[in-house]
Structure 1
């Protein structure tokens, strides 16, 4: 029995992602194309591999068994094909990175254009996601995370600025009307613009000065989902809605032009910058290896 390798890859993508649309996003293909590929595999094998409902796609017992055997086999196939890259002047192929929105905005613009210019045969896909999913399960080669979110068995490489700060800011008009806080606890008496992760968790505001750490859980008229609606929060702060807290680098243009004013700047907390991380127990594909080396050189030049 001869089954097309692309059809088997389609089955693995759908089974891992838990759906045809999710699998399509992970592979950059169409949901209908994946569905047809899985149907062909099932027809050739004569057994149902996936239980389909309106809400989810779950492997059958036969599908789970096939997935367990196919995953390492297809990984070996990818590794074997990647060896060809060693005979090229420059690596070629696809590279998929899972990154938080903050990294896509604040870290990657200083790296990606030069990287793609140096490696024109690499096709790079950036998946901006603040859900902090497992990068491999999401069909990505590597991810960017901050140190508290690094997964086990991963190799971490510094990427971007090594020190960052969380900043609090508001429009001068708001502060003229409501006063300027002297201590983080004063924020409890102010209108604050809050952020919520996609998981539903609210973000506590944390400040630090001379070894004293203060955490506050302020309230306010606006809550936005982190990443997806952060620019809305910035616009609202500029319009005078309240005080917000965000990466200093994100707010810096507005602080410099005066549309936002720093709040509690001596209390702004400093933290280490992000890391590019990837699985240490797998052969590193040539496009990812090129990106890792490029990031290391870029960091040394700073």
Structure 2
């Protein structure tokens, strides 16, 4: 009852992605091709592996058992095939990264273009989101996270700037109308533009000066999903709608142009930069190894 390896791989991709379309996007195939592969596998095994509805695709009990045993086996197959990659003049294959939107905007633009130019046989897929998913479960090779978000049993190497800040700013016209805060608690009397994670948690506005830490929970007329709609909040701040808190590097162009004015700058909180992290107990694919080495060549950013 030997099953085709391609059909098994297709089943695993669909089961992990939770749907044929998402799996097709992740694998570069087609939804119809994946559907046909799963159908062949189910027919050969004589058991249904996936429960399909109009909204989702979920493994049956048999499918879940198969996926549990199949995952490590497929990983070993990929590792075995990737060994051959080491004999190529240039690494080839697909590298999948799961990163926060801030990293996609502030870190990767400096690295990705020269990396792809140096390794033209590597295809890079970047999934940018702020839900902090399990990178392996999401079918990714590595991720970018900040120190407090790193998972256990992962290898982490610095990537991007090693020192970052959360800046607070507003349009000069807004501050002329409503006054300039001199202490973080003054923000409670201002219109503040807030962010919310996909989990529903609100971003915390935290400040620090001379060892004093102050946390405030201001309110305002605009609430945006972190990452996906952050630029909307920036545009609203420039238009004079209220005060925004965001990565300093994100706001820096508008601070330099004068469109936004720094607020409470002595209180801005500094923190360490992000890390590239990946599993430490499994074979490192050649595309990921190339990316790790290339990232290290950038050294430590100021």
TM-score (norm 1): 0.97
Alignment-derived partner of residue 122 in structure 1: 122
Alpha-carbon distance between aligned partners in 1 of 2:3 and 2:219, rounded to the nearest angstrom: 58
Please, what is the CA RMSD of the aligned residues? 1.3
Deviations 1:193-214 (A, max 9, x none): 0001111111110111011111
Deviations 1:229-277 (A, max 9, x none): 0111000000000000000000000000000000000000000000000
CA distance in 2, matches of 1:226, 1:6: 38
Corresponding residue for residue 283 of structure 2: 283
Does the 8 Å CA contact 2:153/2:280 hold for their aligned counterparts?
yes
Corresponding residue of 1:45: 45
Do residues 240 (structure 1) and 240 (structure 2) align? yes
1:127-206 correspondence to structure 2 within 5 Å: 127-206=127-206
5+ residue gaps, structure 1, are: none
Does the 8 A contact of 2:158 with 2:300 survive in 1? no
Contact kept in structure 1, 2:170 and 2:242, CA below 8 Å: yes
1:26–1:138 CA contact under 8 A, matched in 2? no
Task: State the distance in 2 between where 1:20 and 1:213 align.
Answer: 48
4+ runs deviating over 4 angstroms: none
Distance 1:274 1:49, change over 3 A: same
- C-alpha displacement at 1:20, in angstroms? 2.2
Aligned-partner Cα distance in 2 for 1:282–1:101: 27
- Per the TM alignment, residue 28 of structure 1 is displaced from its structure 2 partner at its CA by 3.0
Deviations, residues 71-100 of structure 1 (Å, cap 9, x unaligned): 111111101110111111111111000000
Tell me how far apart the structure 2 counterparts of residues 209 and 79 of structure 1 sit (CA, whole Å).
Answer: 50
Partners of 1:267 and 1:29 in 2: how far apart?
A: 50
Structure 2 counterpart SS, 1:174: helix
Map residues 213-228 of structure 1 onto 2, 5 A cutoff: 213-228=213-228
Partner SS, residue 288 of structure 1: helix
- When structure 1 is superposed on structure 2, of 252-261 and 60-69 the one drifting more is 60-69
Query: For residue 258 of structure 1, what is the aligned residue in structure 2?
Result: 258
- Matched-pair contact (CA < 8 Å) for 2:159–2:300: no
**C-alpha contact 2:160 2:300 (8 A) present in aligned 1:** no
SS at match of 1:299: coil
SS in 1 for 2:244: strand
The 2-side partners of 1:301 and 1:87 are apart by 33
Aligned residues: 302
CA shift, 1:147, in A, is: 0.5
Match of 1:26 in 2: 26
C-alpha contact (below 8 Å) 1:184/1:214 kept by paired residues: yes
Q: CA deviation at 1:65?
A: 2.1
Structure 2 unaligned segments of length 5 or more: list them.
none
Q: Name the SS of the counterpart of 2:188 in structure 1.
A: helix
Q: CA contact under 8 A between 1:99 and 1:127: conserved in structure 2?
A: yes
Residues 147 and 274 in structure 1, CA contact (< 8 A), matched pair in contact too: yes
The offset of 1:301, in angstroms, is 8.2
Q: Distance in 1 between matches of 2:267 and 2:259?
A: 21
SS of 1:111's partner is helix
> 2:162–2:300: 8 Å Cα contact kept in structure 1?
no
Deviation per CA, 1:3-47, whole angstroms, max 9, x where unpaired?
A: 332211110011122222332333233333222211111111111
CA shift digits 1:161-189 (9 cap, x unpaired): 00000000000000000000000000000
Per the normalisation by structure 2, the TM-score is 0.97
